[in-house]
Structure 1
């Protein structure tokens, strides 16, 4: 498919005009998010191909169970046809286990199961390093309405149920993940959909197959990070292209 005008370029993806009104072509780059020591994203060969296939797998699965997403179909190894949406300027994070920033902020040991899935919001502004915001901030500053927030929580928890089940089925624990949500209009009716991507870049994944026995018949409760996360996840889900064999580490949620 011939590419059209570039609409947006981020750290990991490029958006081009789609072939029809209201559509976009989403191109997955090999770049990963830069670390504190890097001035620019680091290129990881094959990462974009795998993230394209993995995001297709998850988005198509959500569509199939009635969770609306922007995904229409995969075009080729690196591109998807998606619906154009007005992205709400928030990252929606769902946490199932304590890890990263929530462990540091609240003093909860890493790996502790949370009493229930916790939904958090972070303002999408790289200049401010994605500050955490409360529902009161979101409504007061007009980023979303209270009804939007109620719908966003419902969407996020449905995504969590689906993703947790899929991951558990292949021996992986979904500790936490982040999604973006957009608005689309169908005539005068507006609804919210899951947008952007779902891939190892936006998930914290722990390998359950590597647990060892402590000697009392019980496995060690703290699973380790999934080694070679992109390739291994694609392999376990059965979506690994045969020509991708690289080894990389995951990008984790703070």
Structure 2
């Protein structure tokens, strides 16, 4: 990795220059952070699991026509992606009351919402990713009205599809965070789903017991973080029998 040019490093991933123009290599770290990076730990195997889970979900979404930046998985920790201009807006879909929504409105966690609620947050760690409105997004030029409509429609479609997919393996999609980017190809631009979809940015509870299998295990010191992520991978049918280990060479390829 030292011979590759690093383009960006975030809290959970590193981006390197890709093998071809317009591509990047996305490396998944084992780092876990919460509360705007005030809490930090290293969870062995988390990056491997997130890489596999995100790969699977991105591929399933592509099958129903959702455009994404994902190209293919390279190995247990890396995937090839298309380079996009990230829109600095985090889109959160909430299906069940949990987290900050419960705190802001005094709702008991687990309360079913009358319908899915979409919220927008300005992607800025220094400001704590503040809650924003559509007016903020268009007024400050982060996205146009047309782009925002496209993002909203894609968000609802992703949420609907993943809710059904997870329900089929006994998981409740409580909420999820999505990011989008502008992909330029031959002078044409389109909005695509970017970043990742994993237990780092989805709340996933067991349908029967409401056991939390996502990043809340880390946020709330519930323990067994890696085991929760591994259980999600097992239910999706993508976890190697040997568990989330780093394999070498062709053994990692599908």
CA contact (8 A) 1:50 1:241 kept: no
Match of 2:180 in 1: 181
8 Å Cα contact 1:12/1:31 also seen in 2: yes
Hey, what's the Cα distance between the residues in 2 that align with 1:3 and 1:173? 42
Distance 2:108 2:98 in 1: 8
Structure 1 equivalent of residue 157 of structure 2: 158
Post-superposition Cα deviations, 1:136-165, rounded to whole Å, max 9, x if no partner, equal 011111111111110010111111011101
Structure 1 residue 17 corresponds to structure 2 residue 4: no
Question: TM-score scaled to structure 1, two decimals?
Answer: 0.87
Number of matched pairs: 233
- Give 3-state SS (helix, strand or coil) of 1:103's partner: helix
Closer, same or farther: CA 114–3 of 1 in aligned 2, 3 Å: farther
1:94 maps to 93
Written as runs of structure 1 = structure 2, the 5 A alignment for 1:32-181 is 32-34=32-34, 41-181=40-180
- Runs (5+) with no aligned partner, structure 2: 214-223, 246-254
TM-score normalised by the chain length of structure 2: 0.87
Residues 207 and 225 in structure 1, CA contact (< 8 A), matched pair in contact too: yes
Please report how far the alpha carbon of residue 66 of structure 1 lies from its aligned counterpart in structure 2 after TM superposition: 0.3
CA 1:144/1:35 → structure 2, altered by over 3 Å: closer, same or farther?
Answer: closer
Tell me, in whole angstroms, the C-alpha distance in 2 between the residues paired with 1:70 and 1:245: 24
1:110 deviation in Å? 1.6
Structure 1 residue 229 displacement after superposition: 2.0
Q: Give the match's secondary structure for 2:200.
A: helix
Q: What's the offset of the Cα at 1:107? A: 2.2
Residue 172 of structure 1, CA deviation:
0.5
Q: Name the Cα RMSD after superposition.
A: 1.9
Q: Structure 1 unaligned runs (5+)?
A: 211-222, 247-254
- Please tell me whether the aligned partners of residues 34 and 42 of structure 1 are also in contact (alpha carbons under 8 angstroms): no
**Residues in 2 aligned to 1:62 and 1:236: alpha-carbon distance in whole angstroms:** 18
2:223 is equivalent to residue 224 of structure 1: no
